[in-house]
Structure 1
Amino acid sequence: MPLALITNDDGIDSPGLYALARGARDAGYDVVVAAPAGDSSGAGASVRSVVDDGHTAVHARDDIGELDGIEAFAVAADPAYIVHAAGQGWFTREPDVVLSGINIGANTGGQVLHSGTVGAVLAGALHGWSGIALSLSCGLAAPAAPHWATATGLLPELLERLRSRPAGTPWTVNVPDVAAADLPPIREAALCATGAVRVRVVHRAPERGPDGVRPGGLRTLVSEDHSEAVPGTDVALLAAGYPTVTELTTLGSRPGATGYGG
């Protein structure tokens, strides 16, 4: 059976990771789980790791009952580093596909650049492995009972279709957090110019008060907004209740684009 490398950016203790691993196994794949030891949200395709005495710590996790015997490792590194390590001979077998998620919250628009979930499959593409970054569209707050099964129920069809694409094809898939019976068919979507999640950084200047000077700094404000969604994009289709799939392009170049001679 083909081997699926399962990772995420929410960390080894995320229930979405366990659901994805079980879903891949149910879809007929051998599975190995290797995920960050902690939260790596927003890491993008970073290959950062925590190095101690020249090594990045890896801990086998055989205590995760939800994985039902699936081999799992916690790594002191971001998800793209983990995928890159797999491409450097970490495992006896190279993976045939990289599955990342299930992320809590959608990954949409140009802001997928910042997503560690998406960064993992982009790293896999550089090694020639196709992949799916799977996210559950549930707003900014994690729901009490996410519909993981709705997302994993799409895996057999998605994986079958992905196998027909060239090796090294990365997909990002967003699934509304609803019961499977209420889910409409998957729609192919273009990336919106901006994602539904907006990150605004506000600068606060130093202020002098009765107790002295309060230092300035940067404050991050996160909100969700679908108002600028262009029809046919991932943000618009998700807002209308559709699950979406978007094929991403990997790094490349456009000869002649700069106007300089070669």
Structure 2
Amino acid sequence: MASSRRLRALITNDDGIDSPGLLALATGARDAGFDVVVAAPHVDASGVGGSVLAVRDGKRVRVHSRELPDLPDVPAFAVEGHPAFIVHSAGRGWLDPEPDVVLSGINIGANLGHAVLHSGTIGAALAASLHGWRGLAVSLGIPLVEPERPHWESALAVLPDVLDVLLAAPDGTVLSLNVPDLPVRELGELREARLAHWGSVRSRVDHVSGDDGDLLHTHEAELTGDPEPGTDTALLAAGHPTLTELQSVTDRPGLLDGGTLSRRAS
């Protein structure tokens, strides 16, 4: 990773500044030779996607300096804003120098399928691409019942090879890495994966009425059945770390060309 020694990495997440996954990723980036700065939401911001919402006082957003365990020399900030807001702030004058790459995670739970749209971890990496930076979202496939000690070290074991891929890719490239929550010795080989139709978890939302008024009550459950072969969901379930290149919002030309609307309507 000698080439990374001249590069600055912004480490963020959506689980909040106190997440052990954030500390693990910052440590891994430092050990890879990056000049590291950490900026993450002051509270859990899971599921916010690409939101740039922040807690504002007029035009001001509060930032709190923090010292991370075992990383006393790494600048760290708890920001009262969502992950994509933090990334955009870094590219709009806050950080000097600006980051060269944004590393987001390590998320508590996999980010799989087209449901990655809703992930704040993914949203931060995609926001990086809007500034021409490379972005990497790292997630650990922890089940709904979180284990006492997740295998953060397994994600870090895969990280160097993935950083090589990221740094060799064009500016603006965004990658999503999912790693099974298994000991390092039990990991399969790193595999490129396409997105599943949804993911590994789906929510059911019920309208509940009671003494406290009307509520929307959410239940999360892991999907049953065999996942589609070759997808990120299937490969992760088989013990493989998966790597997927993602694209930000783009346009598709030809809407009014040659009767496209008529064909789609039919």
User: For each residue in 1:213-248, what CA deviation from the matched residue of structure 2 results, as whole angstroms up to 9, or x when unmatched?
Assistant: 663331111111252521000111111111101111
Aligned to 1:233: 231
Question: 2:38 is matched by which residue type in structure 1?
Answer: V
Residue 77 of structure 2 corresponds to residue 79 of structure 1: no
| Counterpart selection for 1:94 from 87, 94, 98 | 98
After superposition, the Cα gap between the structure-2 partners of 1:214 and 1:90, relative to the gap in structure 1 and judged at 3 Å, is: closer
Tell me how far 1:27 sits from its aligned partner.
Answer: 0.9
Distance in 2, matches of 1:244 and 1:226, equals 20
SS at match of 1:85: helix
Structure 1 outlier segments of 4+, above 6 Å: none
Range that drifts further, 218-227 or 176-185: 218-227
Q: 1:252 aligns to what?
A: 250
Distance apart, 1:9 and its partner CA: 0.3
- The answer to whether residue 5 in structure 2 is matched with residue 3 in structure 1 is no
Structure 2 CA distance for aligned equivalents of residues 214 and 123 of structure 1 = 39
SS in 2 for 1:20: helix
Secondary structure of 1:5's partner? Answer: strand
Specify every segment of 5 or more residues in structure 2 that has no aligned partner in the other structure, as ranges.
1-5, 262-266
Give distance in 2, aligned partners of 1:167 and 1:129.
6
Partner of 2:31: 26
Q: How does 1:106-121 map to 2 (within 5 A)?
A: 106-121=110-125
Query: Which position in structure 1 is the counterpart of 2:219?
Result: 221
1:203, distance to aligned residue in structure 2 (A): 2.1
1:68–1:152 Cα change, 3 Å = farther
CA displacement at 1:84 relative to structure 2:
0.3
Residues 63-94 of structure 1, C-alpha deviation per residue, up to 9 Å, x if partnerless? x2232421100000000000000010211111
With over 3 angstroms needed to count, the CA separation of the structure-2 counterparts of 1:163 and 1:244, relative to structure 1, is: same
How many Å separate the matches in 2 of 1:203 and 1:87?
Answer: 41
Q: What amino acid is aligned across from residue 169 of structure 1 in structure 2?
A: T
Partner of 2:264: none
Deviations 1:189-231 (A, max 9, x none): 0000111011111223x46xxxxx6633311111112525210
Q: In the TM superposition, what is the alpha-carbon distance from 1:2 to its structure 2 partner? A: 0.4
The separation in 1 between residues aligned to 2:224 and 2:126, in whole angstroms, is 26
Output the amino acid matched with 1:185.
E
TM-align CA RMSD: 1.6
TM-fit CA distance, 1:53 = 4.0
Distance 1:22 1:214 in 2: 45
- How many pairs were matched up? 254
Query: Which amino acid in structure 1 is aligned with residue 238 of structure 2?
Result: A
Contact 1:43-1:78 within 8 A present in 2 as well? yes
Please state whether the residue corresponding to 2:182 is helix, strand or coil: coil
Aligned counterpart in structure 2 of residue 57 of structure 1, from 62, 78, 81: 62
Q: Kindly indicate whether the alpha-carbon contact (under 8 Å) linking 2:186 and 2:239 is maintained by their aligned counterparts in 1.
A: no
What is the rounded CA distance, in whole Å, between the counterparts of 1:254 and 1:78 in structure 2?
A: 29
Partner amino acid for 1:90?
Answer: W
Distance of 1:71 and 1:216 partners within structure 2: 44
Structure 1: 5+ residue stretches without partners: 208-212
Cα-to-partner distance string for 1:93-151 (whole Å, 9 max, x where unaligned): 11111100001110101110010000000100111111111000011132211111110
Q: Is residue 194–residue 232 contact of structure 2 (8 Å, CA) maintained in 1? A: yes
